[in-house]
Amino acid sequence: MNFKMISLVGLISIFAAPTINAQMDTIVLVPKTSNWKLESKFALNVTQSTFTNWASGGRNNISGLGFINASADYKKDRIRWATTLSTGLGGIQYFDEAIEKTDDVIDIQSTVSYGLKDPWYVSLLGGFRTQFLDGFSNPEDSVRSSTIMAPGYANISLGIEYIPNENLKVFLSPLSAKLTFVQDQVLADSGAFGVAPAEFNSMGDLIKSGENFRAELGAYFRIIYKKELMENIGLRSRLELFSNYQENPGNIDVNGEVILDFKVNKWFSANLQLNVIYDDDIAITDRDGNVGPRTQFKQVIGLGIAYRLANFEEEKK
C-alpha cells in the first residue's frame, strides 16, 4: 500500500465509529459590491461496520467518500470569467483486504468570455481532468490500469457561448484541441487511452517505446444547466461532446454529469450523482473477456449532516 493509500485510510479511521455518516456543506459569497462570486462545498461521508457472530452474515469494513466543489465567477461590463474545481476521493476497505477505490477525480474548468450582443459571447475555454491514486480493473489485479496523469486530459477550445441567464450556458467550438497524457510507461507501451503503443520485433525486444501524449483536433460542445426544481431540491448538470476531425469524426466522445441536491432540513442533506462517459479510445475488458470501447456509468449517493454559511442573510436557505 503506497503513502497516498495509507493517508486515505488514516483520514477515514479518524472518523470511524460503529455507524457514521457525516457531511459538511459550506457556501461563502463575497459582498454584492464585488465583481466576484465565490462558492465552495465540502462533504465527507464515512461508514464503518463490524460483525460478530452475526447470523445473516457480513464483512467488517470501513468506507469513506469526500469531495470538494468550488467555483469563482467574475463579471464586469462585457468580461466574464468562470472557473470551477471538482474533486472527489472515496474508498472501501474490508478489514482482511487492501483498500479499494470507489471514487477518484480531479476536474478543473475555466472559461474567459467577451460579450457581443447579449446573450452571445466569444469564449476561450480550458479544462483539465485526471485522478489522485492508482486504479485497478479488478481488486485482485497487481498491474494498475490508471494512475495520476495516466490518463490526464486537457481541453482548449475557442468558440461562441450562449448565456441567457445564470442557470444556462451553451458553448460550441469548431476549433478545439483535446490532449491526452499517459505518464505511466507501462500503460503507454500498451497503447492505453489511445496513445501509440510500443513496437517490438519478432523476438519480443522493444524497438520503440509507447508515446506518452496524443493530440486531437476537432469540434467541442458543452452545455451547463442548473435549476432549483422545487423548494430544497436543486439540479446541476453538464454535458460535453467532442468529435475528432482527423479520425472517426462520427465516434463522439461523451462526458455527462447530473447531480441532485436535497436539503432535508437545517442540518441534514443528501445528494445523488450520476456520471456517464464514452470514449472510443478507451478499451475496456468486459466480463466475457471482450476488449473494446464501452459506455461507463457511475452512481454516488451521499447522506449526512450539512452546514451552510453565507455572507448575506438573504442567501441563507
% of the chain surpassing 90 pLDDT: 50
Quick one: which of 179, 197, 175, 180 has its CA closest to 188? 197
Beta partners for residue 71, in sequence order: 39, 84
pLDDT tens-digit series, residues 262-311: 887 766 778 888 999 999 888 887 777 788 888 999 888 777 655 554 43
Contacts of 14 (CB under 8 A, 6+ apart): none
Mean residue pLDDT across the chain: 83
For 165, the grid coordinates are 441567464
pLDDT at site 308: 52
305 or 194: which leads in pLDDT: 194
Query: What is the per-residue pLDDT for 110?
Result: 97
Residue 5 has pLDDT above 70, yes or no: no
pLDDT mean over 193-203: 92
Averaged pLDDT for residues 155-162: 98
Per-residue pLDDT band for 58 (boundaries 50, 70, 90) equals: confident
Q: How confident is the model at residue 163 (pLDDT cuts 50, 70, 90)?
A: very high
Q: Which of 48-62, 130-144, 182-196, 274-288 shows the lowest mean pLDDT across its residues?
A: 48-62
pLDDT of residue 23: 44
* Most confident option among 3-12, 20-29, 93-102, 248-257: 248-257
Average pLDDT over residues 93-102: 81
In the prediction, which pLDDT does 190 show?
92
Q: Give the global pTM.
A: 0.82
**Stretch 229-238: mean pLDDT, rounded?**
91
**Sheet with 79-94, side-by-side order of all strands:** 36-49, 61-76, 79-94, 100-115, 120-130, 152-165, 168-181, 213-230, 233-244, 253-263, 268-278, 296-305
From 21-35, 69-83, 133-147, 287-301, the region with the lowest mean pLDDT: 21-35
Q: What pLDDT does 311 receive?
A: 38
For residue 102, name the pLDDT band (cuts at 50, 70, 90).
confident
* pLDDT band per the 50, 70, 90 thresholds, residue 68: confident
Q: Which candidate, 71, 12, 15, 20, places its Cα nearest to that of 305? A: 20
